[in-house]
Amino acid sequence: MSTTYTRPTVFQTKLFINNEFVDGVKKTTIPVINPATEEKITDIAEATERDVELAIDAAKAAYPKWHATSLRERSMLLYKLAELIERDFTTLVSLESLDNGKPIEGSEADIREVINNLRYFAGWADKVTGKTYASQTETLFYTRREPFGVVGLISPWNFPLLMCEWKFAPALAAGNCVVHKPSEETPLTILWLCRLFKEAGFPAGVYNCVPGYGPIAGETLARSHRVSKISFTGSTVVGRKIMEASSQTNLKKVTLELGGKTPVIVCPDGDLDMAVNLAWNAIMYNMGQCCIAGSRVFVHESIYQEFVNRLKAIESKVTIGCAFTGANHGPQVNQTQMNKILGYFDHAKNVEKLECIMGGERWGTKGYFIKPTVYINVDDNSKLAQEEIFGPVLCILKPWKTIEEVIERANNTKYGLAGVVITKNMSLSDKLVRELQAGTIFVNTYCIPQSFIPFGGYKESGFGRDNGEEAILEYTQVKAVYYQLDEPKL
């Protein structure tokens, strides 16, 4: 690491409503825990129902002015915010690793992407356009794309600042005002961001942040008749509740980015060393706490044993521990998540009798650390192969023989967020790209989704898209206009 990172000081713990930091109405708090030590970092103000309603009040009052703000000014404010994040890069990286537990390298990558993505969407502020339609009559037909007004954003704990920015940047660029409920598990970088919104000069009420528990703050936001759209990233279980809340109230538009069970297909002609490293990184990145984690690996029978042998060698390169010690594998985000993974280990050992070639247990006695874990010869219908574990747990499924077989097996899941293909054969990769039922396919690579490429899922992985032009469209609605012209006269 070129920069030395140390544990940062937490400067802000209150709610952010109407450009002011305020205590919650009930003055209750939520403890924020360091997952590497299990010690409390701080307490933050808890947003309850009334706090969310006050944030909606502020956003609703701010909307007419923000909607009327020139497109250039909207763009310049977003650019300014990116500059301030870049200025505070070291602090934000440190806060992210302290709060979430991820290695410094991962936090650095996340904050760089925040800056890049924010600049990308700043460029979209003056490019949201409708269409004009050809007509042989005296009627002009055209469409306008207009913002919704007040939108609610609910972001997860695994990529706290990045997933937050994926939502607020296109929402604000399109002219909406925002009420954002970040995860109460990892709110610290987002509360720092609130300071930067004010410093950048955003009008009061344009962005409001209300950390709170999902069943209280999140549900209030999802059920509000004054919120016209919700964008949610999280579990499929909670996604269903968001949909239910929308259907029972004002039928607000919903974007959902939910769970995943990404297949990694290794073909016999693929670069084996690359395949091994890619498969490892696809599941161990962020300690497996990633919706596109490559948790199911399908290896051709001709290279199966060699693939397993080479994978075993990677274990020696893993250093587990606190981010500030330079470790490359951190803890799970909380005790609940750790215990959930340990439950899968117990099931694998005592019920399914799976063959574990590494890991399968907790690391140490302090902190929520799980050893990188690999099971081999796993049946497609195993609980571990079908359910989203959200941890550093790799299932290498039974070998495959034919391409038709592996396509059918890879699609044997309720999820459809991503897929990975490793082959040098373009015809083969093209067939797999076409046949795999997923919203994103990586061929001979695996990476964080990019700002200019739409990201979202098929099947129970959700609908709607983050990133790219599609994200801007998600935060606008279409108005059709019929304009009767006068009879032309000379």
Which one of the listed residues 164, 177, 267, 291 is annotated catalytic? 291
Strand blocks (E) in 226-347: 229-233, 253-257, 263-266, 296-299
- Across all residues in the chain, what is the average pLDDT? 96
CB atoms within 10 A of CB 135: 13
Active site residue 291: yes
Q: What is the mean pLDDT of residues 352-361?
A: 98
SS3 assignment, position 488:
coil
Exposure b/e, 270-284, CB count within 10 A at least 16 = b:
bebeebbebbbebbb
CB atoms within 10 A of CB 198: 14
Q: What domains can be seen in the chain, in order of their start residue?
A: 15-258+461-479 (3.40.605.10), 263-443 (3.40.309.10)
Q: What is the mean pLDDT of residues 167-177?
A: 98
Residue with tokens 């690391």: 363
User: pLDDT tens-digit profile of 116-130?
Assistant: 999 999 999 999 999
Predicted local distance difference test score (pLDDT) of residue 2: 59
Give dist(CA 184, CA 340) in Å, integer: 19
DSSP letter at 400 equals B
| Residue 213's pLDDT band (cuts 50, 70, 90) | very high
Alpha helix positions (H), 101-205: 104-122, 160-173, 188-200
Name the token pair of 360: 């399968």
Report whether pLDDT(460) > 90. yes
Predicted local distance difference test score (pLDDT) of residue 449: 85
Percent of the chain with pLDDT over 70: 99
Give dist(CA 74, CA 188) in Å, integer: 26
**Residue 427: is it exposed, middle or buried by C-beta count within 10 angstroms (0-12/13-18/19+)?**
exposed
Report whether pLDDT(414) > 60. yes
SS3 assignment, position 351:
coil
How far the first Cα of the chain sits from its last, in Å, is 74
Closest CA to 383 of 354, 415, 359, 420: 354
Contact by Cβ (8 Å): 122, 173: yes
Q: What is the mean pLDDT of residues 371-383?
A: 98
If you compute the radius of gyration of the chain from its CA atoms, what whole number of angstroms results?
Answer: 24
Which one of the listed residues 165, 185, 257, 388 is annotated catalytic? 257
User: pLDDT tens-digit profile of 133-169?
Assistant: 988 788 999 999 999 999 999 999 999 999 999 999 9
Q: Give the distance between the most distant pair of CA atoms in the chain.
A: 89
Report whether pLDDT(27) > 60. yes
User: pLDDT tens-digit profile of 65-107?
Assistant: 999 999 999 999 999 999 999 999 999 999 999 999 999 999 9
Q: What is the mean pLDDT of residues 44-53?
A: 98
Active site residue 257: yes
The secondary structure of the chain in percent helix, strand, coil, rounded to multiples of 5, reads: 40, 20, 40
Give dist(CA 232, CA 166) in Å, integer: 11
User: pLDDT tens-digit profile of 183-194?
Assistant: 999 999 999 999
Q: What is the mean pLDDT of residues 459-469?
A: 97
The angle at the Cα of 20, spanning 19 to 22, to the nearest 5 degrees, equals 145
Give dist(CA 116, CA 95) in Å, integer: 19
SS3 assignment, position 171:
helix
Q: What is the mean pLDDT of residues 251-274?
A: 97
Give dist(CA 348, CA 330) in Å, integer: 23
Answer positive or negative: Cα dihedral of 37, 38, 42, 44: positive
CB atoms within 10 A of CB 70: 10
Report the amino acid identity of residue 274: M
| Residue 64's pLDDT band (cuts 50, 70, 90) | very high
Predicted local distance difference test score (pLDDT) of residue 1: 44
User: pLDDT tens-digit profile of 313-326?
Assistant: 999 999 999 999 99
